């Protein structure tokens, strides 16, 4: 059974068992870290002493959380670094750290104070891990299939953000995963609208809108604008 310990910007460890088992770690200095920095550590039991009923822990991984201000009086925690040492990888410790970070952000602040929990420049492997954890949390929070079979809108985004602290982009990504799970994948008539909705979302950021529009202006096709026109000379 692993232990999740918390170190804040002052170097304070929040677990009495950890302070008793390793006094040097509890005295560790985090003076260079800002006070809005939080580090969650995953510690695994290494040696258990039956006589003194004490246990020594070894470091397995960490996740850092930075607290950013959000107008007018809110916060937006950001997960910045996630590390699991090679001997302990592929054992579920990364998912455990991510769940602990979500639980801390939901518990440490007043209700409604946290806008969402974001991730700073995630790697592809961490994106897959985040999708897995978020999908599991969303499926437990909204077990009704009708919620996932409907169309995506701001109401569902707000419901997911309120319960699970997910941003709009990540919430929609998780919604599409669970919507595919809830749909009848053997029916092409059902999958076609789902596929077109994803295609529309993917090409939307790449659409270029004109700098200005006039109701009397005539739209010029792109091919006509790019067509080479030879110069004309008058003698």
**What amino acid positions are annotated as catalytic residues?**
120
CB 5 within 8 A of CB 41: yes
Give every CB contact of residue 30 below 8 A, 6+ residues apart in sequence.
7, 8, 9, 10, 11, 37, 39
Q: Do the strands 54-70 and 37-49 form a parallel or antiparallel pair, or are they unpaired?
A: antiparallel
Alpha-carbon Rg for the chain in angstroms: 25
Q: How far is CA 48 from the centre of its chain?
A: 36
**Strands (DSSP E) found in 85-152:** 118-119
């Amino acid at each position: 059974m692993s232990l999740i310990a918390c170190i804040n910007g002052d170097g304070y460890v929040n677990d009495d068992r950890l302070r008793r088992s390793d006094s040097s770690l509890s005295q560790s200095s985090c003076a260079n870290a800002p006070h809005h920095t939080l580090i969650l550590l995953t510690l695994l039991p290494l040696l258990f002493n039956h006589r003194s009923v004490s246990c020594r822990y070894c470091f397995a991984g960490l996740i850092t959380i930075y607290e950013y201000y959000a107008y007018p009086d809110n916060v937006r925690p950001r997960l910045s670094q996630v590390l699991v040492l090679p001997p302990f990888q592929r054992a579920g410790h990364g998912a455990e750290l991510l769940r602990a970070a979500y639980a801390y952000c939901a518990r440490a602040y007043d209700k409604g104070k946290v806008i969402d929990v974001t991730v700073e420049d995630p790697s592809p492997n961490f994106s897959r891990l985040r999708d897995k954890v978020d999908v599991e949390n969303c499926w437990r929070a909204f077990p009704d299939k009708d919620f996932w079979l409907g169309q995506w809108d701001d109401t569902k985004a707000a419901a997911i953000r309120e319960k699970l602290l997910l941003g709009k982009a990540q919430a929609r990504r998780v919604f599409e995963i669970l919507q595919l799970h809830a749909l009848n994948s053997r029916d092409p008539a059902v999958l076609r609208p789902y596929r077109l909705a994803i295609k529309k979302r993917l090409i939307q950021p790449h659409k270029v809108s004109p700098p200005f529009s006039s109701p009397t202006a005539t739209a010029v096709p792109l091919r006509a604008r790019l067509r080479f026109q030879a110069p004309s000379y008058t003698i």
